[in-house]
Amino acid sequence: MNTNKNTEAQRLTFAEKLYLPELAKGMSITFREMFKPKFTRQYPEQRWDPTGSYRGRPVLVLEEGKERCVACGLCSLVCPAMAIEVQAAETENEKERYPEKFEINMLRCIYCGFCEEVCPEEAIVMSKDYELLFSSQKDAIYGKDRLLVPVEQLQDRLDFLKEYK
Amino acid sequence: MPHIVIDGTRIETSPDKTIIQAATENGINISHFCWHPELSVSGNCRMCLVEIGLPKRLADGSFDKDSDGKPVIGFFPKLQIACSTQVSEGMHINTKTDKVIKAQESVMEFLLINHPLDCPICDEAGQCKLQEYEYRHSNGQSRFEEEKNHKEKRVKWSNEIFYDGERCISCSRCIRFAREVAKQDVLAFVNRGDKVTIKVSEGKEFNNDYSMNVIDICPVGALTSGDFRFSSRVWDMSFNDSICPGCARGCNIKIGSRANKVLRVEPRNNMFVNKYWMCDYGRLSWYENINECRINEPQIRVNGSYEDCSWDQAVDAAYQGLKKYQPNEIMFIGSAYSSNEDNFLLKKFAKKIIKTNNIDFQKYSKDGFEDNKLKVNDTTPNTNGLTEIGVAPDQNGYKINDIAKKIAVGQLKAVYILDDSLGQFPELLESFAKAEFIIVHASNKSKLTEIANVVFATSTFAECEGTFVNFEKRVQHFKPALISNENISTMGAKMDRLEKFGSHNDRWSLRNIHNSRQSWRIIMQLANKFGAAWTYKSSSNVFDEITDQIQSLSGMSYKLLDEYQGLVLGKAGSPDKKVIAYQSYTMKPN
């Protein structure tokens, strides 16, 4: 037995129950809006260029052909979604440590930007890239090949960090 | 017995102790870098500065008392170091007054003047004493604006030890260790003032059998291990207590692993066995066997090739095979690499279920391995345990030396081997090959597993729970440090975070979890197939039965063994006095 005595249908007034006046009301809004200026972006023909403050997918900064990252593993530690895996190894460079493997599981990433905030080398930053496509779970794990981005392309974000971080 | 008062806590101690010793023994921590309980006192880090006072005496020699009748304490105007000041009756020590805190802050500021801020690169980060004290004792500011000193980096002291002069805080622990414990006096300070650095004597290497201990005692990241260097951050790893299986000493160790791979082995304090040290052999030699070449699934040989099979199939194959033979045609070989629990059930299975007297084990001895420090010639961890349990033939049973002869004449047809390490003996292997039916409990692929009919995938000691009896007859308990299919439900807090939170689509969680079992569990399953009704649920059930039946182990339990860091055979009632274990650093974040 239905004991619910106060359903949506029971709360309607008589005018509302007639339906036609409500239809007219709705259509009037529709027609009014048709002649107002449009805000919809015709994506993907028309793309949006985010500002430096936008947190798109995290990327590694590539500077002078080398990654800035020293594989300290702090991003991996701070990542609340555990998206990042870092495996360090030794190099002959002055900074003797570099990431042999750096993988971000983009299915896990929640774009919080903690990795960028904790990074002592400003080596991982949030990019403007918001278009992420993958066809399988494996495909969603980004390695160094897809993560390294030349520093010139990330200047907006680096300037933003300089000012606000 | 003099009494001293540290920050208002009254402590009874003996007169030959220094303040820091008395404090440590009573569980009070005084900050320090250079002091180590097993090394001589050098007093050069100045971190343990404390305020010391003695009761004031009047002209007639009696103690001055205030209006409440308490003695008046006269504090020294200057601070003293706790590591080289001996205690005396009625001494008052303050470790938390403003004066002391200011001194500690100053010491930290001095140390950090030339210490590079390269924690992101440094392997020690997370277990660094300097880092820890930076949080605890530093004001977080440096007034030093000039260029930091540059010194030699990546200096190779030996193949396994790298020295970074810039990170060194000149505590001299490594120098004293080399001189006093390792007895290879090749390290020394060179240069003076802020140019001071540590060097190995010209043309020498610091490469004795105990050299890698300096990496553990180094309070900063100046000394790093060539073996471990940059393998993992310490906070990604789990460090679980275990016992080194490298020789009969049974050094207490911690197994550092990440994603179920052993990356590092380090000593754990046990004053009755290994103090704070372990040998480089134990550190480096065996852990690869746990990571590599493992047997993941039980296997049976079908028409000459091996096939992975389920546990039930393997046990059934073993049952069908063994059933065909007379009891005295079957030989059981225990293993001094396996725990007491495994060997006890093997013996019980042989004697009670199969009803044979043919049970023995192979003894190992590596001549020249022994030194007068930790290593002993017997390279198995549990020979004494097997002797105690009685893994030996009685009456007319066959000995291990008889095997070749007996197999050749056809008196022995089936062999049940608890251990894959017998593959090292070519002559044994040759005679095994002539046997009709071989069952091997193996954790690693070896020549022995290539000739066996049934291979049971066995957990290594690092995945099992059990006990070893070392050469001094100390029974020591070890718990699983790594995950196997069998123990995964109980490992919980002992897993590292990668293991704990990994899912199937993370590449880092594609870990190697072996479908292996502890030997005793396999034996129990097989015995039950033969009609026994054994109901052991955990290793402790088996151990309880051992303590019931073996006189010298009576009264022991895993709980007591853990509590007293092991008990000597026959002395469960009178254990050694408990000592507070000194820990050189605290893991952060833990």
Looking at residue B511, what is its pLDDT? 65
Composition of chain B by helix, strand, coil, percent to 5: 30, 20, 50
Looking at residue B543, what is its pLDDT? 95
The CA distance from B553 to the nearest CA of chain A, in Å, is 45
- Is B501 close to A82, i.e. CB distance below 8 A? yes
Residue B589 pLDDT exceeds 80: no
- Is B505 close to A70, i.e. CB distance below 8 A? no
- Is B233 close to A108, i.e. CB distance below 8 A? no
Indicate which of A85, A115, A139 best probes the interface with B, i.e. most B CBs within 10 Å of its own CB: A85
- Residue B309 contacts residue B297 (beta carbons within 8 Å): yes
Name the pLDDT band for B57 (thresholds 50, 70, 90): confident
Which helix (H) or strand (E) covers residue B23, if one does?
A: helix B19-25
- Residue B68: other Cβ atoms inside 10 A: 5
Give the distance between the most distant pair of CA atoms in chain B. 100
Q: What is the pLDDT of residues A4-19, one digit of tens each?
A: 777 777 788 888 888 9
Q: Which residue of A has its CA nearest to B120?
A: A72
- Mean pLDDT throughout B404-432? 87
Q: Which residue of B has its CA nearest to A94?
A: B153
The CA distance from A116 to the nearest CA of chain B, in Å, is 14
Q: What is the pLDDT of residues A61-112, one digit of tens each?
A: 999 999 999 999 999 999 999 999 999 999 988 889 999 999 999 999 999 9
Q: Which residues of A touch B153 (CB under 8 A)?
A: 96
Looking at residue A1, what is its pLDDT? 59
Exposure string for A91-122, b = 16+ CB within 10 A, e = fewer: eeeeebbbbeebbbbbbbbeebebbbeebebb
Residue A89: helix, strand or coil by DSSP? strand
B156 at A interface, C-beta within 8 A: no
Q: What is the pLDDT of residues B448-477, one digit of tens each?
A: 888 899 999 999 999 999 999 999 999 999
For residue A137, what are its two tokens? 């779970």
What's the number of CA atoms in the CB half-sphere (13 Å) around residue B431?
A: 21
- Is B231 close to A97, i.e. CB distance below 8 A? no
Residue B590 pLDDT exceeds 50: no
Q: Which residues of B touch A122 (CB under 8 A)?
A: none
A98 pairs with which residues across the strands?
A89
Which helix (H) or strand (E) covers residue B207, if one does?
A: none
- Mean pLDDT throughout B526-531? 94
My answer on whether omega of the bond before B381 falls inside 30° of 0, hence cis, is no
Which helix (H) or strand (E) covers residue B503, if one does?
A: none
Looking at residue A2, what is its pLDDT? 63
Looking at residue B506, what is its pLDDT? 83
B225 pairs with which residues across the strands?
B161
**Which of these, B350, B345, B294, lies nearest to B512 by C-alpha position?**
B294
Q: Which of A89, A97, A140 sits opposite B121 (nearest CB)?
A: A97
Q: Which residues of A touch B507 (CB under 8 A)?
A: 85, 103, 105, 141
Counted residue by residue, chain A has a size of: 165
One-letter amino acid at A40 equals: T
One-letter amino acid at A63 equals: E
- Mean pLDDT throughout B490-497? 86
The CA distance from A89 to the nearest CA of chain B, in Å, is 6
Mean per-residue pLDDT of chain B = 91
**Which of these, B365, B346, B350, B341, lies nearest to B424 by C-alpha position?**
B365
The CA distance from A17 to the nearest CA of chain B, in Å, is 53
CB-based contacts of B79, cutoff 8 Å, min separation 6: B49, B50, B51, B52, B99, B100, B103
**Which of these, B379, B366, B374, B369, lies nearest to B273 by C-alpha position?**
B374
Q: Which of A89, A90, A121 sits opposite B120 (nearest CB)?
A: A121
The CA distance from B31 to the nearest CA of chain A, in Å, is 27
Phi, psi of B53 (to 5 degrees): -140, 150
DSSP string, B58-123: -TTSPBPB-TTSPBPEEE-SS-EETTTPBP-TT-EEESSSHHHHHHHHHHHHHHHHHS---TTT-T
- Residue B355: other Cβ atoms inside 10 A: 11
Mean pLDDT lowest for which of B40-54, B133-147, B497-511, B550-564? B497-511
**Which of these, B420, B443, B424, lies nearest to B333 by C-alpha position?**
B420
Indicate which of B124, B131, B233, B235 best probes the interface with A, i.e. most A CBs within 10 Å of its own CB: B233
- Mean pLDDT throughout B342-367? 92
- Is B230 close to A74, i.e. CB distance below 8 A? no
The verdict on ipTM greater than 0.90 is no
- Is A70 close to B121, i.e. CB distance below 8 A? yes
d(CA B439, CA B453): 6
Residue B124: helix, strand or coil by DSSP? coil
- Is A137 close to B505, i.e. CB distance below 8 A? yes
- Restricting to B residues 444-503, those with a Cβ less than 8 Å away from any Cβ of A are 497-498, 501
Exposure string for B494-529, b = 16+ CB within 10 A, e = fewer: bbbebbeebeeebebbeeebbbbbbbbbbbbbbbeb
Looking at residue A90, what is its pLDDT? 92
Give the distance between the most distant pair of CA atoms in chain A. 83
- Residue A65: other Cβ atoms inside 10 A: 7
Q: What are the distances in angstroms from CA B247 to CA A139, B264, B372, B379?
A: 47, 18, 14, 4
Looking at residue B510, what is its pLDDT? 59
CA of residue B365 relative to chain centroid, distance: 22
d(CA B271, CA B470): 14
pTM, two decimal places = 0.89
Q: What is the pLDDT of residues B293-347, one digit of tens each?
A: 899 999 999 888 888 999 999 999 999 999 999 998 999 999 999 999 999 999 9
For residue B354, what are its two tokens? 């199969």
Distance from first CA to last CA of chain A, Å, rounded? 61
Looking at residue B2, what is its pLDDT? 86
The CA distance from A136 to the nearest CA of chain B, in Å, is 10
- Mean pLDDT throughout B204-229? 93
- Residue B362 contacts residue B400 (beta carbons within 8 Å): yes
B92 pairs with which residues across the strands?
B5, B53
For residue B490, what are its two tokens? 């109980």
Alpha helices by DSSP H, listed for B285-372, are 287-291, 311-323, 340-348
The CA distance from B234 to the nearest CA of chain A, in Å, is 10
**Which of these, B567, B568, B549, lies nearest to B558 by C-alpha position?**
B567
DSSP string, B415-458: EEES-GGGGG-HHHHHHHHHSSEEEEEESB--TTTTT-SEEEEB
| A and B: number of Cβ contacts within 8 A | 57
The CA distance from A47 to the nearest CA of chain B, in Å, is 32
Q: Which residues of B touch A137 (CB under 8 A)?
A: 505
Q: Which residues of A touch B126 (CB under 8 A)?
A: none
Q: Assign residue B468 a region (left: φ > 0; alpha: ψ between -120 and 50; beta: otherwise).
A: beta
More confident residue, B420 or A41: A41
Please report, rounded to a whole number, the percentage of residues in chain B having pLDDT higher than 70. 99
Q: Which residues of A touch B508 (CB under 8 A)?
A: 85, 103
Indicate which of A79, A84, A97 best probes the interface with B, i.e. most B CBs within 10 Å of its own CB: A97
Indicate which of A82, A93, A118, A147 best probes the interface with B, i.e. most B CBs within 10 Å of its own CB: A82
Q: Which of A71, A89, A96 sits opposite B154 (nearest CB)?
A: A96
d(CA B350, CA B391): 10
A90 pairs with which residues across the strands?
A97
Please report, rounded to a whole number, the percentage of residues in chain A having pLDDT higher than 90. 76
Which helix (H) or strand (E) covers residue B24, if one does?
A: helix B19-25
DSSP string, B150-194: ----SEESSSSEEE-TTT-----HHHHIIIIIS----EEEES-GG
Looking at residue A5, what is its pLDDT? 74
Exposure string for B361-387, b = 16+ CB within 10 A, e = fewer: bbebeeeebbeebbbbebbbbbbbbbe
B233 at A interface, C-beta within 8 A: yes
Pairing of strands B161-163, B155-156: antiparallel
Q: Which residues of A touch B229 (CB under 8 A)?
A: 90
* Chain A residue set in contact with B, beta carbons under 8 Å: 70-74, 76-77, 82, 85, 87-90, 95-97, 103, 105, 107-108, 120-121, 137-138, 140-141
CB-based contacts of B299, cutoff 8 Å, min separation 6: B306, B307, B308, B309, B314, B449, B454, B455, B457
What's the number of CA atoms in the CB half-sphere (13 Å) around residue B279?
A: 23
Looking at residue B255, what is its pLDDT? 94
Q: Which residues of B touch A140 (CB under 8 A)?
A: 505
- Is A77 close to B508, i.e. CB distance below 8 A? no
3-state secondary structure string across B381-425 = CCHHHHHHHCCCCCCCCCCHHHHHHHHHCCCCCEEEECCHHHHHC
Residue B351 pLDDT exceeds 50: yes
B241 pairs with which residues across the strands?
B254
Q: Assign residue A28 a region (left: φ > 0; alpha: ψ between -120 and 50; beta: otherwise).
A: alpha
More confident residue, B65 or B76: B76
What's the number of CA atoms in the CB half-sphere (13 Å) around residue B303?
A: 0
Q: Which of A90, A107, A120 sits opposite B230 (nearest CB)?
A: A90
Q: Which residues of B touch A82 (CB under 8 A)?
A: 497-498, 501, 506
Looking at residue B139, what is its pLDDT? 84
Q: What is the pLDDT of residues B176-208, one digit of tens each?
A: 999 999 999 999 999 998 899 999 999 999 999
Q: Which residue of B has its CA nearest to A138?
A: B505
Domains and CATH numbers, chain A: 2-34 (no CATH), 58-164 (3.30.70.3270)
Looking at residue B148, what is its pLDDT? 92
DSSP type of residue B380:
S
The CA distance from A159 to the nearest CA of chain B, in Å, is 23
Name the pLDDT band for B504 (thresholds 50, 70, 90): confident
Q: Which residue of B has its CA nearest to A137?
A: B505
Q: Which residues of B touch A87 (CB under 8 A)?
A: 232
- Is B233 close to A73, i.e. CB distance below 8 A? yes
d(CA B302, CA B574): 54
B120 at A interface, C-beta within 8 A: yes
